[in-house]
Every structure is written in structure tokens, then in C-alpha cells.
Amino acid sequence: MNRSGLTSRTMWGAAAVVALAVAALLPDRYASFSKPVSMAVITTVQPLSEPLHKLSASLRQHVDQPLEAVQGVQLRDKVLELENENYRLQWKVSQLEKDISALQKLDSQLGDRSFVYRRAAVSGRSADPSSNTLHLELGARDGVGAGMVVVEGAYLIGRVGQVGHVASTLDPITTAGTHVTAVIGPFSASGSGVVIDTLPLAQFDADGSDRLTAVIARSLPVQVGDAARLKDPAWPGAVHGWIIGQVIAVEDMPDDLLRKRVTIQAIMSLRYIDAVTVLVPSRGAAPGEGATTAVPLAGATKEGAP
Amino acid sequence: MRWWVFAILAYLLLALQVGLADAMAWESPYGPVAPRFLLLLAVLVGLWASESVVFTAWGVLGLLTDLASPYAGGLHLVGPYALGYLAGAYFILQVRPMLFRRHPLTIASMMMVSGGAIHLVVIVVFFTRKILGYPLPDWSAGDEVMLRLLILLYSAAVGGVLSVVLVRMVPLFGFEVSKVAGPSRPRRRGEPA
């Protein structure tokens, strides 16, 4: 009897397991039979579970606050990190915008497209304290050649000196012993309204500092603040009219009543230049006389030009 | 076993499980992890009750869990947890002779182990449904394994603490301890065998 009862229980158990397995594996459309029972169970539990849930919801608000605070700290750190990255990128963008602006200005000034503009970082300065030569991170590999004009913004800086494969030197226009012819006229960075052929010429000599001096006729209308613009046949015509300095002093010469001394100072301080633009002739034009015949400045015109 | 005690406790713990799930849940990459209180009652019964009572009680708790677990799309399934609880009952009956039943760590570890058996069966059922062509929406076996493992850990931790109280309620259940095999303390002098 006991044995048969045990067998019967086992059979019932096995049948229950099989029934549960079948029910568990029923397709969705046949599994809805348990829905009323299920809802009954949920409804039965609801009187106790609902207040607990409301309580838990109110508790959760307090519990969540520290969690949010932690998340807030993490977010703040992330924001700071992104801000730093943003500042770094903004700085890079501003540098690139500066380069683009300089190149666009050059483009408008050198309208004939005779030059390719090569942006060159200044990598150093000559170790000899008597030399103010700068090192550029451009060389023959980049098409840079000796004597090419180096500018920055609207200002003429100098010429390329020695050229290596990947580096070169910049001889500023203020290098001692440099002789350069320029005209002196009203200062205008854009060159608008300046007719360089009508302006008085002067032969400037560099003394090794950032200044150049010239002796001109006392009758010429030159005053402090005027700009000295290149007009030297030894330089490419395309850069004629470019500013090489600003008049900082006009002095009478006691031993020469007919002349006066004009001192100009380079506007761009070489000490703070981090990059310059090298004008590389685009069609292999030699960087010398007659290399190009471009309009010198957007607003500055030669005499007789429209 | 006094079934009315079991019923009241089952009701309370099911309500706790349903009502406090949000309060006690923490988010994991696999889903919200909340403790399972019914498992605690099941383990308590499984450690103290007779074999037939254990199977019945665990089957009932499994059914309750099934019925209180609606799925997405209005699906209600009877069977996965019921089968799982039966498997868990079988497992705990096999190991309980080796256990010191009153220790909270025993209850916590049994929640882990027998709960593992339960969830393994549930995963197998859902995986079979997937193979048969009617899976639960967005169901992934890998994620389910991880989620349920975390739930078991959490449940065991909570259950270990609550067991300190529940073990003191064991006399209320009226278990027939003499029918349950297991390690016994040394008999004191004069104590009947």
C-alpha cells in the first residue's frame, strides 16, 4: 500500500513536471490561459505591495540624490576634461585661422598667383648672439630656395638665407649690413589709397638692431608714424609696396642742412614670431629681379595703374 | 508544517518582492538587480521541512513567482519558475544533510546554490522557447545569466541578513524536525536519544 502510494505520488509529481514543462513551452497565443490567475495573484498582493511601492518611490528620491551627486561629479570631471580639450582645439583653430587669414591676405595682395605660400614654423634662433637669423622648419624638400621672400601678415620680414633639405634660415631685413630701398608714406596696413610711385624713395641701412636708418632730403614730407614700403629692384616686384617698418624718428642733421635722418623700426618683432610665410615662386621663377610683376598691394597702386 | 504561516509569509514576502523591487534595485549593464525574497522563504522551508512538504512548498512558490511575473506583450507564463523551484527543491534536499541549518551563511549560500538551479532551469526554458520560435522580446541568454547571477548575489546578501530574524521564527512553522536528516549537535548527558 505504502509502496503503491509512493509510486502514485511519484507519478503525480512526474505528471506535474511534464504539465509545467508543456505550459512553460506553450506558444504565446496559448499561454494566455494563466492570465486571470496571474491577475488574481497580482491583485491579491496589491494591497500590500502598492503602499510599499509608494514608500519605495519616495525613498528612492532620497537614495538617488547621492547617486546623482556622484554622477554629477563624474559629469563635471568629464566636462572639465572636454573643456580642456576644447580650449586646446580652439587654440589650434585660432592658429590655423591666423594662418589662413595671413595666407588669404597674401592671396589678395599677390593677385597674380605667382607664388605658393609656404607656412614655416620658426624653430629657433642662431646661437651666435650677434646674429638675428632665425631657423625655419622648411627646406629644399618643400620647394624653398635661397633668396625667397619671407613675410608675415602685411609685413615683409626678410629673405631665406641658407637652405637645407628640411630646414632653412631666415635673414631678417634688419640684418646688419642690409641695404634696402623703400618709399615712405602714410601708414596703412592694407595699402589702400597709397600710390607708391609718388612717394619719396630712401635707401635704408640696417645696423643689426631692429631698426633701419636712411638719409633723405629735408624737404620730403616724412613724419613719425609713416610706413616704409619696399621698392627695391633687388626684390621681387610682387612684394614691392610691402611694409618693412614704421618711422619712429625724423631728425635733422646738424652738419647737413639739406637732409634729415629717418629711422624706421620693424613692426613685427622677430622675438615673438612663431611662424612666417615663405613665398615660393609657383612657376619656378627665380627669386630675384623680375621674378614676378604682381600688383603689390590690394589698395596700393603704381603710378598710372587703374 | 503549518501552511497558514507559510501562506502569510509567502504573501508578505511576495508583496515585498513586488513592492520594494524599485526601492532596492540597482542598475547593472544587464538590467535592474533586485533581491528575491520568496527564495529566502523557500530556502528556509527547504532546510527544515520534510521532503514532500519541500517539493509542495517550492512548487507553490514557483507558481506564485510565475503568476506574479507578467512579461512584455501581456504574456503570462506558468511553468518556468515552477519547474525551476522544483529543481531547486531537489537540489537543496540533496545537500541539506550536510548543512548547519541555523547559520545565516548556510541560508545565504543555499540561496545562491539552489537559486542558481532555479535560474538555470528558467534560462533553459526561455532558451528553448527561443529555439522553438517564440522567444521573449530582446531576450539574450548571456545577459540573462549575468543578470540572474547578480540578482542571486544580491538576494543572498539580503537573505543572509534577514535570515537572522527568520530563523527565530522557525518554531512558528511547526516543522517536523525529526523527519529531517542532518548534522546533529552532541547529545547532552541525560538527554534522550
ipTM of the complex: 0.80
How distant, in Å, are the alpha carbons of A2, A72, B13, B84 from that of B68?
A: 37, 36, 12, 15
Of B13, B18, B81, B124, which to mutate for an interface test with A (greatest number of A Cβ within 10 Å)? B18
Residue A185 has pLDDT above 80, yes or no: yes
Q: Give A-chain residues touching B54 at CB under 8 angstroms.
A: none
Please indicate, yes or no, if residue B59 is contained in any of the structural domains: yes
Residue A285 has pLDDT above 60, yes or no: no
Q: Give A-chain residues touching B70 at CB under 8 angstroms.
A: 38, 42
| B144/B130 Cα distance (integer angstroms) | 13
Measured between CA atoms, how close is B134 to chain A, in angstroms? 6
Cβ pairs A/B, distance under 8 A: 108
Residue B63 has pLDDT above 60, yes or no: yes
Q: Give B-chain residues touching A26 at CB under 8 angstroms.
A: 77
Q: Give B-chain residues touching A22 at CB under 8 angstroms.
A: 79
Nearest residue of chain B to residue A44 (CA atoms): B11
| A110/A238 Cα distance (integer angstroms) | 6
> Would you state the pLDDT for residue A56?
66
Please indicate, yes or no, if residue B188 is contained in any of the structural domains: no
Residue holding cell 619671407? Answer: A150
Rounded to the nearest 10°, the torsion over CA B45, B48, B51, B56 is -20
Secondary structure of chain A: what % helix, strand, coil (to 5)?
Answer: 40, 30, 35
Decide if B78 and A41 are in contact by the 8 Å CB cutoff: no
Residue closest to A239 by CA, chosen among A134, A153, A145: A153
CATH number at residue B18: 1.10.1760.20
> Would you state the pLDDT for residue B190?
61
Q: Is 0.80 topped by the overall pTM?
A: no
Measured between CA atoms, how close is B121 to chain A, in angstroms? 10
Decide if A45 and B80 are in contact by the 8 Å CB cutoff: no
Q: Give B-chain residues touching A57 at CB under 8 angstroms.
A: 22-23
Query: Range with the lowest mean pLDDT among A126-130, A137-141, B104-108, B146-150?
Result: A126-130
> Would you state the pLDDT for residue B156?
92
* A240-268 average pLDDT score: 85
Q: Give A-chain residues touching B19 at CB under 8 angstroms.
A: 48-53, 55-56
Residue A291 has pLDDT above 50, yes or no: no
Please indicate, yes or no, if residue B74 is contained in any of the structural domains: yes
Q: Give A-chain residues touching B59 at CB under 8 angstroms.
A: 16
CB-based contact, A62 to chain B, within 8 Å: no
The count of domains in chain B is 1
CB-based contact, A60 to chain B, within 8 Å: yes
Measured between CA atoms, how close is B171 to chain A, in angstroms? 25
Average pLDDT, chain A: 74
Please indicate, yes or no, if residue B193 is contained in any of the structural domains: no
Q: Is the distance from CB of A302 to CB of A151 less than 8 angstroms? A: no
Please indicate, yes or no, if residue B186 is contained in any of the structural domains: no
| Region label for A281, one of left (φ > 0), alpha (ψ between -120 and 50) or beta (otherwise) | beta
- DSSP, residue by residue, B88-112: HHHHHHHHGGGS-TT-HHHHHHHHH
Confidence of residue B31 (pLDDT cuts 50, 70, 90): confident
| A148/A159 Cα distance (integer angstroms) | 5
Residue A29 has pLDDT above 50, yes or no: yes
CB-based contact, A41 to chain B, within 8 Å: yes
Decide if B83 and A45 are in contact by the 8 Å CB cutoff: no
| pLDDT tens figures, A108-160 | 666 556 778 888 877 776 655 555 777 787 888 888 888 888 888 778 888 88
| A3/A302 Cα distance (integer angstroms) | 125
Decide if A20 and B82 are in contact by the 8 Å CB cutoff: yes
Of B60, B78, B128, which to mutate for an interface test with A (greatest number of A Cβ within 10 Å)? B78
Measured between CA atoms, how close is B77 to chain A, in angstroms? 6
Query: Range with the lowest mean pLDDT among A144-148, A167-171, B122-126?
Result: A167-171
Residues 6+ apart with CB under 8 A from B138: none
Nearest residue of chain A to residue B8 (CA atoms): A45
**Residue A111 DSSP one-character state:** T
> Would you state the pLDDT for residue B112?
92
Please indicate, yes or no, if residue B79 is contained in any of the structural domains: yes
* A34-39 average pLDDT score: 74
A93: which 3 cell numbers?
A: 583653430
Q: Give A-chain residues touching B57 at CB under 8 angstroms.
A: none
The domain of B55 spans: 3-177
Of A10, A38, A43, A60, which to mutate for an interface test with B (greatest number of B Cβ within 10 Å)? A38
* A27-35 average pLDDT score: 76
Please indicate, yes or no, if residue B185 is contained in any of the structural domains: no
Residues 6+ apart with CB under 8 A from A98: none
Decide if A53 and B20 are in contact by the 8 Å CB cutoff: yes
**Residue B175 DSSP one-character state:** -
Q: Is the distance from CB of A237 to CB of A291 less than 8 angstroms? A: yes
| B34/A158 Cα distance (integer angstroms) | 75
Residues 6+ apart with CB under 8 A from A155: A242, A243, A244, A266, A267, A268
Please indicate, yes or no, if residue B187 is contained in any of the structural domains: no
Nearest residue of chain A to residue B64 (CA atoms): A41
Q: Is the distance from CB of B119 to CB of B84 less than 8 angstroms? A: yes
Q: What are phi and psi of A232, to 5 degrees?
A: -115, 125
Residues 6+ apart with CB under 8 A from A88: none
Confidence of residue B121 (pLDDT cuts 50, 70, 90): very high
